[in-house]
Chains A and B, each alone.
Chain A
Amino acid sequence: MPRTLAVQAPAAGVRLITLQRPEALNALTTELLGELAAELALAEQDAETRAVVLTGSRKAFAAGADIKEMAERDLVGILEDPRVAHWQRIASFPKPLIAAVNGFCLGGGCELAMHADILVADEDACFGQPEINLGIMPGAGGTQRLLRAVGKSLAMQMVLTGQPIDARHAQRAGLVSEVTLPELTVERALEIARAIAGKAPLAVRLAKEALLKAQDTDLASGLRFERHAFTVLAGTADRAEGIRAFQEKRRPEFTGR
């Protein structure tokens, strides 16, 4: 049993992972990241799981890395940091990952949220990369994913001043897709997860891959990848079922084949 996470299956095809270190505002220890990476590996292998929602507590999604742990690491310690491998495993999770963000989403917490494909935030949430205040800088994608999400000027401002932005600002900037009431954040994320869980899994998987491709390749290569992915789907049973169901005006029954 993981100690720093709770894992539930609140709906068919949907897993809900809740970060559970409330005493430390869900600060991301190596243990927590390792458990999260392991849980996502389980979710990846489980054919029944079609989408995952990741959330924290009402007060904090995650308020950053574990500063105490970080302070104990010197140059060599950071070079050999096991966390890098955990982050890579989280980043390569192939199924849709939705972050339901309540409260503080800072530093490593913000970076973790940005590993998600879709971010839903509560109206009181705040996002920031305060690492600069400690004489360090973001080290898990904060300078890369943030810039791609919100653009250069705001990303620079956030990373260089360490000052957070509120949920509405984050939504206007494109970091989060929806802002909702604190009481309903997880529910809304689960709703989105359920909607995705009802789609053809292979189409969802390739569409996610194509969208992520858009972030790190030129347009021509991205379009080529998209076309290949589109072609691959032509050979699936779910494509035939989807089109047939549409023509017959009924709900499709997808099998993941």
Chain B
Amino acid sequence: MTFEHILFSVEAGVATLSLNRPEQLNSFNAAMHGEVREALKRVRQNPEVRVLLLTGEGRGFCAGQDLADRNVAPDAEAPDLGESIEKFYNPLIRALRDLPLPVICAVNGVAAGAGANIPLACDLVLAARSASFIQAFCKIGLVPDSGGTWSLPRLVGLARAKALALLGERLTAEQAEQWGLIYRVVDDAELRDEALKLARHLATQPTYGLALIKRSLNASLNNDFDTQLDLERDLQRLAGRSEDYREGVAAFMAKRTPSFKGR
């Protein structure tokens, strides 16, 4: 499969997936969904990949669903949007969350609708200073999807989540950082480099362990305390059997730099 609507490359353990429909602010149509799905499959299947970097081409990150793809004539029967969610958005969000490696999202510009919520399914979100987040759904009579109603209250609290979702106002990257919606704001010109630097650093780390950390933190949002303690025990059991753990301890004892393999 060759890609038309995304750019995809793998280099030194870092897979970079860039949404590439800049004229449409990288909004999703069925074809782009298919390509993103294929790229994520390659990420999962390629043992060389230890970090995923997700970003967008042009001035926007992602404007969510391409409404041109969803023509609703006034007298036509209502479309089943649930089907589109079930088929496209939910699998995408689940795939990003379940990837057993760190996922960095570099939000390079406006992130609206589903495009505002896709970064929230990633692990580390950087945003360009000029980027913004808009829960645009309420303006056309819809409900935030792609995990937004789940992620938002957990990240910024119910009061701010409701304001964002009910008003659909533009949230600047700086405000998003202050509210704890994203990890960090960087200057526009430095976004790509900063994100790549972070990705390359993580790709040298014990990424199997990092994947277990990601898994435990994601699970913590649903678990009660005792269940989480049990999960920590089980994941630590797995981590303790990894090659990287042996290497980490050996390097520490020998006072040398560890060489991690992600296993």
Contacts and interface: CB of A to CB of B under 8 A. Distances in A.
Nearest to A181: B234
Contacts of A234: none
Interface string B66-104: 000000000000000000000000000000000000000
Nearest to B222: A168
Interface string A166-195: 000000000000001101100000000000
Contacts of B238: 181, 183-184
Interface in B173-221: none
A171 to B, nearest CB: 12
9 contacts: A180-B234, A181-B231, A181-B234, A181-B235, A181-B238, A183-B238, A184-B234, A184-B237, A184-B238
Contacts of B237: 184
A183 B235 CA distance: 9
Interface string B234-254: 110110000000000000000
A79 to B, nearest CB: 43
Interface residues of B, number: 5
A180 B234 CA distance: 8
Interface of B: 231, 234-235, 237-238
A248 B144 CA distance: 64
Given A181-B235, A184-B237, A184-B238, 5 more contacts: A180-B234, A181-B231, A181-B234, A181-B238, A183-B238
Contacts of A180: 234
A184 B234 CA distance: 8
B109 to A, nearest CB: 36
A180 B231 CA distance: 8
Contacts of A183: 238
Contacts of A184: 234, 237-238
B242 to A, nearest CB: 11
Nearest to A187: B237
A180 B235 CA distance: 10
Interface in A131-145: none
Contacts of B235: 181
A13 to B, nearest CB: 23
Among B231, B234, B235, B238, residue most surrounded by chain A Cβ atoms (within 10 Å): B234
**CB-CB nearest 9 A-B residue pairs:** A181-B234, A184-B234, A183-B238, A180-B234, A184-B237, A181-B238, A181-B235, A184-B238, A181-B231
Interface in A97-142: none
A154 to B, nearest CB: 22
A184 B237 CA distance: 9
A181 B227 CA distance: 12
B160 to A, nearest CB: 30
Contacts of B231: 181
A8 to B, nearest CB: 19
A116 B231 CA distance: 25
A196 to B, nearest CB: 21
Nearest to A180: B234
A138 B42 CA distance: 38
Nearest to A188: B234
A18 to B, nearest CB: 20
A183 B234 CA distance: 9
Contacts of B234: 180-181, 184
B37 to A, nearest CB: 19
A195 B87 CA distance: 45
B40 to A, nearest CB: 18
B178 to A, nearest CB: 35
A180 B230 CA distance: 9
A108 B231 CA distance: 31
A129 to B, nearest CB: 23
Nearest to B235: A181
A181 B233 CA distance: 11
Interface in A169-225: 180-181, 183-184
A118 B235 CA distance: 23
Interface string A79-94: 0000000000000000
A100 to B, nearest CB: 14
B221 to A, nearest CB: 15
B212 to A, nearest CB: 10
B64 to A, nearest CB: 29
B57 to A, nearest CB: 35
